[in-house]
Amino acid sequence: MPAEIFISYARVDRDCIEPLLDSLRAIDVSFWVDEGNIHAATLWSEEIVDAINACGAMVVILSESSTTSDNVVKEVMLASELKKPLLPVYLEETEVPRKLQYQLAGIQHLELHGRDISNLSTELAKSLNRMGIQTSDSVPIAASHPNITRAKRRFKLSKKTKSTVKTICLCLFAFTIGLLITKRTVETTGEKPAQPNDTPFHVTERIGENLLITTEVSSPIAISPDGEHVAVIVKEGNRQTLYLRESKTGKWQGITEANKPANPTFSPDSQWLFFSSNRNALKSYSLADGTIQTAVPDINAIGLTFGDDLLIYPKHYRTGLYLFNTVSRDEIELTTPSSEALGHFWPHMLPDGKHLLYTDFIPGLKKTTVRLCAVDGSRDEVLIQNAFTAKYATSGHVLFVRDGNLMAVKFDKEQNKISGSSTPILNDLYVVAGIGRGGYSISQNGILVYAKESEVERLSNFSWIDRDGNEEALTLENKTYGSFSLSRDETQLALTIQEANNRDIWVHDFNTGVRTRLTDKTTIQKHPQWVGDHQSILYVNDAPPFALFRYDLRQKQHEPILVEQYDVYKPTVSADGRFVAYSQITPGHLDDLFVLDLESGNKTTPISTTVYNETMGAISPNGKYIAYQSDLNGKNQIYVVEIANPKNTKQVSVAGGEESTWSRDGTELFFRNETSLISVKFDPETGQVKSTPSVIFTKEFARFQSFHSYQPSKDGKRFLVLKEAGESTANRVHYIFNLDEILKQKLK
């Protein structure tokens, strides 16, 4: 029969808890206590996990020793996750560590120090009865043990601390718990006995206060096959950074040498972490010595999987999958996407090593499918309709994403076929709709790591900020706003709003308060820009064939003005509506900058097409110059070039710069650097910079790589700024341990 009470304590306090154990015996309550027979090298045995699962409540012995014990912390965290009642018992006055304040805050407790313990059994019985533990009538015991009088600091939670404990604190040993619980599940063969340590449970972890899971890469999260490491792409200030978590230490480490990382994937042996670097190389990071190597140059791998001496990846968007032989260094095309597809992404090798799953991504997602392909090219067929980001789970299921839900379906790995209907496993999964990616990853020992859509997609709103830093918030509701453009008379705001994984263009009228939808599609429309007379708006249609569209507000008609095979984005329009500056990514290139002349037969002029990123072009009001940002010198700086002579560039910023914009008369050039809005004086006739950069104000911006987060007013005295609304929750990573058990229960 399982013990009713689990005693969590530090080994050095063993003699001091005898009065408590005698009291439990006196009231006929069974208990489990580690008598020291478990070898310390096992860290945390399955026997302890079983006992916590089976108990009715946990008694936590608090002392200077126990509050610094890793095992006690883990035991309390697991008990709390399993919703076991907790009874803190103080051996001495001590401070509860921050990592346990959430679990123990406000809970009624008992004290053993400096008191007569003759009535301990009575008090203990009352406390346990309130927790649902049945006891016999109290039997007083003789004071055969000396009073415990060790007294040091008295711990009390302040009112402020209690009121601010809102979320689960950092679970430093989540992986260790999960691995120990799941290890028996994976290794058991034959008929599996029903054991309490198979219970799935969920842990939420905060990466760090200033680290936010980025929405600007297509795949931000991955877990190693052995479950020992998790990789996350975060926004750290203005920098896109790769962070790695090791389960043994429970700490997150920034891999600062990774240059603009994206799409992390672990090798099958969990010894290497691969990632796309700056969209032009596949890199590998050694978990053994921390070195970074170039695995494959000149590709932007939107997903990666592994075969025998093979790396399998799409080279870019608008491409199929390629097989790269790591021995011969030969590359062979495996699949070819249709003209309707954006590409073949997110390959995942199946257990036989001969077949893989991949996403045939068609913008709009409804037409997107998961396909099954043979590595030798003999088979390539649709496996699941209306699905993307598929992975095989060791329980014999395929996971995939549909409508923001993580789904599962039974999979016959011998026949490589699905069977039965699919079932949702969890909702609110973070989805990158523009690339067909679900924000989750699974290990081979049943750990699911994922990000939530409601936490990662951050709400924002607009404020006017004058040059003295005074703010005036607009009366718009908080939403997931994107790129925007203020009309020249400042009466209307064209803006992108994301809803249900779609982005559409809207216009808000400040005079009437009416908001009108201009686009209503299942794909992504973004980057609106007012054109000339304010009777039309330019915008980007982010789906093949990629196009710049102009919407006529009077005729309510959409007209393509530039159609390309590859993505065009971040357009800006000159004051007279004649020129459009835009960026484009093509295979083998990063962001290149072009200018489109709408009055000369849509003639296109390349401004900068180097091996670096040149983007965010802004045409001066007189149409002679273009300001843009480039990482030519290792970090983004602002440059100005004459459109008629694009080879003669001038660097304007000194300490870094992004999002350049002109004043209405062209005599001032604005740009942002981190949280500072900066200005330089400019002569629009000679093209000369007339001053050094000076800070106008410092504020928090909603910072994105893909669009401007501010726009100056027509008189240049204030700025419309997009700001995040409320405290961000994008620093949370979620884990589900024993995923296999959930799948077996839901898909019997």
* Residue-wise pLDDT tens digits, 699-742: 888 766 668 899 999 999 999 999 887 666 788 899 999 999 89
Read off the pLDDT of each residue in 42-60 and give the average, rounded to a whole number. 78
* Residue-wise pLDDT tens digits, 192-236: 323 335 677 888 888 877 788 887 667 789 999 999 999 999 988
How far apart are alpha carbons 319 and 726 in whole angstroms?
40
- Measure the CA dihedral 247/249/251/253, to 10°: -90
Secondary-structure percent of the chain, ordered helix, strand, coil, rounded to 5: 15, 45, 45
Res. 418: pLDDT tops 60:
yes
Paired with 661 in beta bridges are 670
Read off the pLDDT of each residue in 595-604 and give the average, rounded to a whole number. 86
What is residue 575's predicted lDDT score, i.e. its pLDDT?
Answer: 87
Res. 157: pLDDT tops 70:
no
- Residue 86, number of CB atoms within 10 A of its CB: 19
What the chain holds in terms of domains, given with CATH numbers, is 5-164 (3.40.50.10140), 302-428 (2.120.10.30), 460-724 (2.120.10.30)
Task: Provide the phi-psi class of 120: left if phi over 0, else alpha when psi is between -120 and 50, else beta.
Answer: alpha
Would strands 437-438 and 431-432 be described as parallel, antiparallel, or unpaired? antiparallel
- Backbone φ and ψ of 120, nearest 5°: -60, -40
How far apart are alpha carbons 71 and 655 in whole angstroms?
48
Vertex 588: Cα angle to 359 and 218 (nearest 5):
35
Place of tokens 């190693």: 224
Is 25 in a helix, a strand, or coil? helix
How far apart are alpha carbons 298 and 331 in whole angstroms?
13
Burial class (CB in 10 A: 0-12, 13-18, 19+), 692: exposed
Which of the residue ranges 85-89, 140-144, 282-286 would you say has the lowest mean pLDDT?
140-144
Name the percent of the chain lying above pLDDT 70. Answer: 86
What is residue 327's predicted lDDT score, i.e. its pLDDT?
Answer: 92
Read off the pLDDT of each residue in 687-698 and give the average, rounded to a whole number. 93
Helix (H) or strand (E) holding 549: strand 546-552
The two three-digit tokens of residue 310, written as one number: 């093979």
How far apart are alpha carbons 96 and 112 in whole angstroms?
16
* Residue-wise pLDDT tens digits, 113-128: 777 777 788 888 888 8
> CA-based Rg of the chain, rounded to a whole angstrom?
30
Instruction: Tell me the average pLDDT of the chain.
Output: 83
Is 746 in a helix, a strand, or coil? helix
Pick the most confident of 137-141, 330-334, 535-539, 631-635: 330-334
How far apart are alpha carbons 709 and 714 in whole angstroms?
17
Give 743's DSSP letter: H
How far apart are alpha carbons 241 and 261 in whole angstroms?
7
How far apart are alpha carbons 469 and 466 in whole angstroms?
5
In the chain, the amino acid numbered 537 is I
Paired with 321 in beta bridges are 314
Contact by Cβ (8 Å): 734, 725: no
Interior/surface letters 174-211, b for 16+ CB within 10 angstroms, e for the rest: bbbbbbbbbebbbeeeeeeeeeebbbbbebbbbbeeeb
Would strands 676-681 and 694-698 be described as parallel, antiparallel, or unpaired? antiparallel
Reference 120, options 103, 144, 104; nearest CA is 144
Q: Mind giving me the DSSP string for 200-263? A: -EEEEEE--TTEEE-SSSS--EEE-TTSSEEEEEEEETTEEEEEEEETTTTEEEEETTSSSEEE
CA terminus-to-terminus distance, the chain:
29
